Amino acid sequence: MGPPGQVARAYTPSALPSVAARALAFVAILLGGLCGGLIGYAVTDLQCGTPEAAVQLDGDGRPVRGAAIPERDPNDAAGCRTLAAVGGLVGAAVGAGGVAIVSVLVLRAMAEWRKELEIDDDGDGDGDDLLTGKPPGPGTGRQ
């Protein structure tokens, strides 16, 4: 403990975004990863299959009447589950990475906006500089 009569440090404003904003960005990154993973899995799963699984088409490009749609191989002979899982992981990484980049840019913009707001105006509406208490002018470097 310090000597008696010593007070705690004065509050200094921080450019750090609020905890709620950072938590919301984290949740958005998780959600972006989840959506990217689902999309990657679905696209890969739809594209994967054996040549025997093709539907027979007539000359006009319509399915032949009475032709059976072959079932998927239950033993996964074509490796579709593995490919779909890899597609899901790649999609999750791309989705989460993209949302993370946007989240970082948004948080930085919020911090810069907050810093400018605190420096430019002290809240009394007269436009005085928050640090010096003087109106902006030629001496402050801002007009």
Condensed to tens digits (0 to 9), the pLDDT of residues 37-48 reads 999 999 998 887
- In the chain, the N- to C-terminal Cα span, in Å, equals 46
The answer, yes or no, to whether residue 33 has pLDDT greater than 90, is: yes
Nearest CA among 44, 37, 34, 24 for reference residue 89 = 37
Q: Predicted confidence band at 21 (pLDDT cuts at 50, 70, 90)? A: very high
**Mean pLDDT score of the chain:** 76
Contact 88, 40 (CB under 8 A): yes
Condensed to tens digits (0 to 9), the pLDDT of residues 86-129 reads 999 999 999 999 999 999 999 998 888 766 665 555 455 555 55
What are the phi and psi torsion angles at 90 (to 5°)? -65, -45
Look at 38 and 72; give whichever has higher pLDDT.
Answer: 38
Predicted TM-score (pTM) of this structure = 0.60
Q: Predicted confidence band at 13 (pLDDT cuts at 50, 70, 90)? A: low
Res 91: pLDDT? 97
Q: Mean pLDDT over residues 19-46, rounded?
A: 95
